Structure 1
Amino acid sequence: MPLTPITEGLPSELSVQLMSVEKVYYFSFISMKGGCGSSGHKENHWIALTDKRVLYKTKVSEKKSGVDVFVLKEGILPFDKISFLEVTEGQQSNGCSRSKVFQLRISTSGGTVSIPVPTQEKCYEIRKVFTELGQNG
């Protein structure tokens, strides 16, 4: 089934970042909610794939003085700078319990970006669209 450009329902914070001839072929909110005892709340984090780039807004885990902290990041990764995408699975404290977490790791010429995604299936869905766009581009 051929990919179809998305023309409606995109958040304005994505739309303003698009180039005039750029088309969005994949968009998904990727927010996750904190677990029991957690003060975490759902936020509008997202990932989009266009015919030229991966755009995202999410919180990512970074090590600061040996401690994991979450930092809000917004980024743009041009397809010609991406060498591979991989799906990883790990464990994370989620309030008073541990849960599985999934990340889409995107390796670029400048390093690796790890984007948390709610499910493994969504990670594979994003990777599949990326691959299809790469074959058609």
Structure 2
Amino acid sequence: MTENDNGTITCEKFLAHTPAAVWKALTDPDLHARWWAAGDVKPVVGHRFTLDMGNFGSQLCEVTEVEDERRLAYRFAEGTLDTTITWTLSPEGNGTRLVLTHAGFDLDSPMGRQAYEGMSKGWPHVLERLDTVLGEAV
């Protein structure tokens, strides 16, 4: 995982699963709820949905970019954090290289700084859960 001073978190992980399997875990609401958060995520540009972030409440999202089995981007926490999450999938050997970029944190605001620091620590664990769920789904 890398962090930088411009309010962007980048994590990458090799997953021993096909891009199709990883894509399904990113875009199927039932699978998505098992590794990160419940919500009606769909790979359709303009689709608006909420993610149930437990103690952090429901976060409004809107899909901004879709390239099947390659790239999914959406605005995250509109009206509060106003960040963007981008998932990039690349075939690699017998699996997939997944790169998560979470950008747009306002590091000058206390809420933005706190979210950035918390998510910097949290994203690697989320990607581990994704890997676990993919292993169970096979």
More helix by share: 2
Which structure has the bigger radius of gyration? 1
RCO comparison, higher one (Cα < 8 Å, 6+): 2
TM-score when scaled to structure 1?
0.30
Please give the TM-score of this superposition, normalised by the length of structure 2: 0.30
Which structure has the highest strand share of the two? Answer: 1
